[in-house]
């Protein structure tokens, strides 16, 4: 008989790896369709060949990303049972409902992606655009459903249990639990920021390399403008979320802010590593934490001493630093967006300074890092519980051995998958830049029957737009 607890750490590591990888693709799956549709909308509305070309190319990249996202998402569905059978056995009937709703939207997304991605040639302009709208809409609702599950794990409710059996479930209360109101907007905005800043980052890199043409500026703007507009809203939502966590999950909040003892006039720590009761290399701002939580220095903030040591999350410094990195990146992105807004307001142009474009080049990666840090805060911060104060993670993990093996294989497989995905996206971009037509495909299938493809008027337009 294997030690059950021995499987918990590798199981958590594997879930973190696969979720951390998939969440990037999920963000793109949720938000990228909107950006593609925006570009196509501009292209169709203003007869703008550049925007139309951008939309077409992005949708080709989206095809790859949605496919990889679909399979890595399936991995997570399997892992719910393969890694966490204890969770599913007890609460599958409760948290299954939002997943079923998610499946519904996943269907719509996949079906209309099939129409939109492969319908560029033979569907008329606006008909094609409308075929993409359900992808964007179901992306948002699908995200809401999945986040409903995660927020339910943070604030479980909507069910009754007796003798370890679920006796009734209120699907509505499960879906719209206490934490859903702040987790849902926070993550959906994050998805839009990740996608927008990633697009902006790609074209900012091109501009830095001297490709200062209409195509690159248009690509940058279509990604940057919506993401920068959403950034202040995201910070507001995040602030509300942190305050709600201070009351809903005080121990998680204590770890985020290094509140060891319940007290008033609590200082805010920026950075710093917590080791054995001492905080090294942190900046201490007196009273600020109390001010942020309750708008007054006298506000009482609950520390992690309110629960026994076994009920506290491990590695508080990881939670705290992840939180600080997320907030820091969010603030920098806000400043960067304000810089552009100011320059546009005064001079009707984007800042010409190289620093602005360097910031642009890293903004996509920064947004991803911030989003991953947010997940570290919410997931590590909930430990040792998988369902907050109801089910310990150790009781949920699989009793099978060999999780370390699957973890190793998953890391290798995902590394390869990630490298190939990025390589293919780069290859696509190089091919587009050379403006070259597709090389003859000797092995694989032929792209399309030539008789219809070469006579379609839409394609002739795209050919012109492609210079």
Partner 1 sequence: MAYDAVGAILLAGVTLYAVLGGADFGGGLWDLLAGTTAQGRAPRALIDESITPVWEGNHVWLVFDLVIFWTAFPHAFASVMVGLALPLWLALAGIVLRGSGFAFRKELTRLSTQRAAGATFAFSSLVTPFFMGTVVGAIADGAVPADATQASLAAWTSPTALLAGFLFVAACGYLAAVYLVGEATSRGDRGMRVYFARRAQAAAIVAGALSLAALLELRNSNQLVFDRLTGRALPLVVVAGVCGLAVFALLALGRPRGIRVIAALGVAAVVWGWGIAQYPVLLPGTSVTLSNAGAPESTMVAVIVVFIIALLLVGPSSALLYTLQGRHLLGAGEHAALPAAVPAGYRGQPGAGSGRPHSPPRRLPGPAIRSAAFGVVMLAAVIRRLRRR
* Residues between 246 and 285 with contacts to partner 1, criterion CB under 8 A: none
* 134 sits near partner 1 (criterion: CB under 8 A): yes
How far apart are the C-alpha atoms of 30 and 42, rounded to whole Å? 20
Of 247, 389, 400, 408, the one binding partner 1 (CB under 8 A) is 400
In the bound state with partner 1, the residue whose beta carbon lies nearer, of 104 and 235, is: 104
Of 90-98, 181-189, 212-220, 337-345, the window that binds partner 1 (rule: CB under 8 A) is 90-98
Buried b (16+ CB within 10 A) or exposed e, 325-357: bbbbbbebbeebbebbeebeeeeeebbeeeebb
Closest separation between CB of residue 135 and partner 1, Å?
11
How far apart are the C-alpha atoms of 431 and 424, rounded to whole Å? 10
Of 82, 315, 332, 404, the one binding partner 1 (CB under 8 A) is 82
* 404 sits near partner 1 (criterion: CB under 8 A): no
Of 122, 209, 211, 300, the one binding partner 1 (CB under 8 A) is 122
Please, which of residues 438-467 interact with partner 1 by CB under 8 A? 438-454, 456, 458-459, 462-463
Closest separation between CB of residue 251 and partner 1, Å?
28
In the bound state with partner 1, the residue whose beta carbon lies nearer, of 68 and 329, is: 68
CA distances to 68, 184, 281, 314 from 74, rounded to whole Å, are 10, 21, 42, 29
Of 45, 46, 126, 170, the one binding partner 1 (CB under 8 A) is 170
Site track 415-434 with partner 1 (rule: CB under 8 A), x = hit: --x--xx--x--xx--x---
Alpha helices (H) along 249-353: 250-257, 288-294, 316-347
In the bound state with partner 1, the residue whose beta carbon lies nearer, of 96 and 271, is: 96
How far apart are the C-alpha atoms of 429 and 447, rounded to whole Å? 18
Closest separation between CB of residue 113 and partner 1, Å?
6
Please, which of residues 327-356 interact with partner 1 by CB under 8 A? none
Closest separation between CB of residue 200 and partner 1, Å?
22
Phi and psi, residue 180, nearest 5°? -65, -35
Enumerate helices (H) and strands (E) in the chain, giving the number of each.
15, 6
Closest separation between CB of residue 23 and partner 1, Å?
16
In the bound state with partner 1, the residue whose beta carbon lies nearer, of 42 and 169, is: 169
Of 137, 171, 260, 273, the one binding partner 1 (CB under 8 A) is 171
How far apart are the C-alpha atoms of 332 and 314, rounded to whole Å? 29
Other Cβ atoms less than 10 A from the Cβ of 450: the count is 9
How far apart are the C-alpha atoms of 114 and 376, rounded to whole Å? 34
Closest separation between CB of residue 237 and partner 1, Å?
28
How far apart are the C-alpha atoms of 350 and 356, rounded to whole Å? 9
Please, which of residues 92-121 interact with partner 1 by CB under 8 A? 92-94, 96-97, 99-104, 106-108, 110-115, 117-121
How far apart are the C-alpha atoms of 257 and 274, rounded to whole Å? 11
Closest separation between CB of residue 436 and partner 1, Å?
8
Binding-site size, partner 1 (CB under 8 A): 98
Please, which of residues 43-72 interact with partner 1 by CB under 8 A? 56-57, 59-60, 63-64, 66-68, 70-72
In the bound state with partner 1, the residue whose beta carbon lies nearer, of 247 and 454, is: 454
Tell which residue, 198, 156, 232, has the closest CA to residue 30: 198
Closest separation between CB of residue 421 and partner 1, Å?
8
Please, which of residues 179-198 interact with partner 1 by CB under 8 A? none
Please, which of residues 360-399 interact with partner 1 by CB under 8 A? 398-399
CA distances to 85, 239, 424 from 8, rounded to whole Å, are 12, 32, 35
How far apart are the C-alpha atoms of 283 and 121, rounded to whole Å? 58
How far apart are the C-alpha atoms of 418 and 424, rounded to whole Å? 10
* 165 sits near partner 1 (criterion: CB under 8 A): yes
Closest separation between CB of residue 36 and partner 1, Å?
12
Phi and psi, residue 378, nearest 5°? -75, -35
Tell which residue, 181, 318, 200, has the closest CA to residue 244: 181
Closest separation between CB of residue 414 and partner 1, Å?
9
Of 166-174, 217-225, 275-283, 382-390, the window that binds partner 1 (rule: CB under 8 A) is 166-174
How far apart are the C-alpha atoms of 184 and 297, rounded to whole Å? 30
How far apart are the C-alpha atoms of 186 and 234, rounded to whole Å? 6
């Amino acid at each position: 008989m294997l030690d059950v607890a021995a499987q918990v750490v590798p199981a958590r590591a594997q879930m973190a790896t696969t979720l951390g990888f998939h969440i990037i693709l999920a963000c793109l799956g949720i938000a990228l369709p909107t950006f593609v549709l925006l570009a196509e909308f501009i292209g169709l509305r203003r007869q703008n060949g550049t925007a139309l070309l951008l939309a077409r190319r992005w949708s080709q990249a989206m095809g790859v990303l949605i496919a990889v996202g679909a399979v890595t998402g399936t991995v997570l569905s399997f892992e719910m049972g393969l890694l966490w059978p204890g969770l599913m056995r007890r609460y599958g009937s409760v948290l299954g409902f939002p997943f079923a709703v998610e499946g519904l939207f996943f269907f719509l997304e996949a079906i209309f992606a099939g129409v939109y991605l492969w319908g560029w040639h033979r569907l008329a302009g606006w008909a094609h655009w409308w075929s993409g709208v359900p992808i964007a809409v179901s992306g948002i609702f699908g995200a809401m459903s999945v986040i409903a599950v995660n927020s339910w794990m943070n604030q479980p409710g909507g069910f009754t249990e007796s003798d370890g059996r679920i006796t009734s479930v209120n699907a509505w209360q499960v879906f719209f639990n206490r934490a859903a109101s702040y987790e849902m907007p926070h993550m959906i905005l994050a998805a839009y920021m990740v996608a927008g800043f990633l697009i902006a980052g790609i074209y900012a890199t091109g501009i830095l390399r001297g490709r200062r043409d209409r195509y690159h500026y248009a690509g940058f703007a279509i990604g940057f403008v919506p993401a920068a507009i959403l950034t202040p809203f995201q910070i507001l939502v995040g602030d509300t979320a942190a305050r709600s966590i201070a009351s809903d999950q005080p121990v998680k909040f204590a770890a985020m802010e290094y509140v060891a003892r319940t007290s008033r006039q609590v200082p805010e720590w920026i950075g710093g590593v917590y080791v054995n009761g001492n905080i090294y290399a942190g900046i201490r701002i007196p009273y600020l934490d109390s001010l942020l939580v309750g708008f007054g220095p006298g506000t009482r903030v609950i520390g992690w001493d309110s629960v026994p040591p076994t009920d506290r999350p491990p590695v508080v410094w990881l939670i705290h630093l992840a939180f600080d990195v997320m907030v820091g990146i969010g603030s920098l992105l806000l400043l960067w967006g304000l810089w552009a807004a100011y320059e546009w307001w005064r001079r009707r142009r984007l800042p010409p300074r190289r620093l602005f474009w360097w910031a642009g080049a890293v903004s996509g990666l920064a947004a991803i890092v911030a989003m991953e840090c947010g997940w570290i805060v919410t997931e590590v911060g909930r430990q040792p519980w998988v369902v907050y104060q109801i089910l310990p993670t150790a009781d949920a993990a699989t009793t099978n051995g060999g999780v370390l093996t699957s973890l190793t294989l998953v890391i290798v497989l995902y590394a390869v998958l990630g490298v190939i995905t990025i390589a293919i996206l780069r290859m696509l971009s190089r091919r587009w830049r050379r403006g070259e037509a597709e090389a003859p495909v000797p092995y694989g299938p032929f792209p399309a029957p030539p008789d219809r493809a070469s006579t379609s008027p839409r394609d002739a337009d795209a050919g012109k737009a492609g210079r």
